[in-house]
Amino acid sequence: MNVIKRELRANLKSLIIWSLSMTFLVYVGMVKYSAFAAAGQSVNEIFEQLPPAMMKIFEIGGLDLTKISAFYALFYLYFNLLSGIHASMLGATIISKEERDKTADFLFVKPVERHKIITSKLIAALINVLVLNIVTCVASIYFISVYNTGDSITMEVLRSILALFFVQITFLSVGFASSALVQTTKKATGLSTLIILTTFMLSVGIDLNEDLDFLKYLTPFKYFNIAKVMNDATYPIVSLVLVFVIVILGLCVIYYKYPKKDLHV
């Protein structure tokens, strides 16, 4: 319990900065909606005349462009990206920083089992990720309602925020696993960075070349198609299973490796 409180306090400044940045981003995204709405009606008319093959090229096919949900969906990708970075950096540092800051010999000689300390840190990390998620959610709903001209899309936003949460915990586990597998914080963040960059570039590559579509299971950024999530609440079973598997694997790696680890003090 003390460990959780201490970790939350230590990460508070960073969490506040991240939350403010996300809120600002949502604001910047939504504030121009009126210009987009004006164009949206004429766009729908043009779309109706296009052959279906053309529709496939526009990956947001299925979204009603006159609704603010289409606009929000465009930006959702970037919230996804930033939350993923936050989660994986947090996961990579929260446990390995004890060794970095040379507080490991203090913490681990306390009469608390190692796995309990790890659990507390994991819970603190999860709380941080949840706070960022909720801040994004609230900011999205608020700014959408301020700038919305049509019907409320709160349900759709909530569905996309849930998908965001799945991506966040995936990257959080990847961060944890990185920190357990390598010795120093520097290498752990390096490994997490490598994974984030690779998965991001892969998602860009898949967007550019549909033949690579089969690779989409390698990159968490492609697990949830935002249009389908928002409109039909489609969370593909495969993606959910993958998220589950990655999270469980990450936890296994860290609970297996860390209690036995030789700490460099």
Partner 1 sequence: MNIFKQELKMAYRSIFSWTLAMIGICWLFMTFFQSISADAELMNKVFSNFPKEFLNALGISDLDMSTIQGYYGLILNYVTLIGAIYAMKLGVGVLSEEVRCKTSDFLVVKPVERHTIVTAKLLTVLLLIVIQNVVYDLAAFGIANLYKKIEFETGLFFMINSTLLLVQLFFIGFGLLISVMIKKIKTVLPITMAVVFGFFVIQMLNETLDEKKLTYVTPFAYFDMSTIIKNQALDGTYVILDLVLIVLFVILTYIIYKRKDMPSV
Cα distance between residue 197 and residue 185, in whole Å: 18
Q: Which of 20, 113, 152, 205 is the binder for partner 1 (CB under 8 A)?
A: 205
Total residues binding partner 1 (CB under 8 A): 48
Any idea of the CA torsion for 211, 212, 215, 217, to the nearest 10 degrees? -70
Tokens of residue 231, six digits: 């409109």
Q: Which residues from 89-108 bind partner 1, rule CB under 8 A? A: 89, 93, 97, 100-101
Sequence-distant (≥ 6) Cβ neighbours of residue 187 within 8 angstroms: none
Cα distance between residue 77 and residue 163, in whole Å: 11
Stretch that binds partner 1, among 117-125, 203-211, 244-252, 257-265 (CB under 8 A): 203-211
Shortest separation between residue 166's beta carbon and partner 1, angstroms: 20
Site for partner 1 contains 204 (CB under 8 A) = yes
Q: What is the pattern of x (binds partner 1, CB under 8 A) and - over residues 44-83?
A: --x---x---x--xx-x----x----xx--xx--x--xx-
Shortest separation between residue 33's beta carbon and partner 1, angstroms: 10
Q: Which residues from 209-228 bind partner 1, rule CB under 8 A? A: 209, 211
Sequence-distant (≥ 6) Cβ neighbours of residue 171 within 8 angstroms: 83, 84, 85, 87, 88, 91, 192, 196, 220
Any idea of the CA torsion for 6, 169, 187, 118, to the nearest 10 degrees? 40
Site for partner 1 contains 190 (CB under 8 A) = yes
Shortest separation between residue 244's beta carbon and partner 1, angstroms: 26
Q: Which is nearer to partner 1, 78 or 217 (CB)?
A: 78
Site for partner 1 contains 249 (CB under 8 A) = no
Q: Which of 32, 110, 115, 116 is the binder for partner 1 (CB under 8 A)?
A: 32
Shortest separation between residue 126's beta carbon and partner 1, angstroms: 18
Q: Which of 5, 42, 105, 238 is the binder for partner 1 (CB under 8 A)?
A: 42
Shortest separation between residue 5's beta carbon and partner 1, angstroms: 21
Please report, for residues 125, 138, 197, 247, 258, the alpha-carbon distance to residue 180 in angstroms, rounded to integers and kept in the order given.
15, 34, 20, 14, 6
Shortest separation between residue 135's beta carbon and partner 1, angstroms: 15
Helices marked H in 31-153: 33-49, 52-57, 68-100, 104-107, 114-147
Three-state DSSP string of 165-231: HHHHHHHHHHHHHHHHHCCCHHHHHHHHHHHHHHHHHHHHHHHHCHHHHHHHHHCHHHCCCHHHHHH
| Contact footprint for partner 1 (CB under 8 A) | 18, 21, 25, 28-29, 32, 35-36, 38-40, 42-43, 46, 50, 54, 57-58, 60, 65, 70-71, 74-75, 78, 81-82, 85-86, 89, 93, 97, 100-101, 185-186, 189-190, 192-193, 196-197, 201, 204-205, 208-209, 211
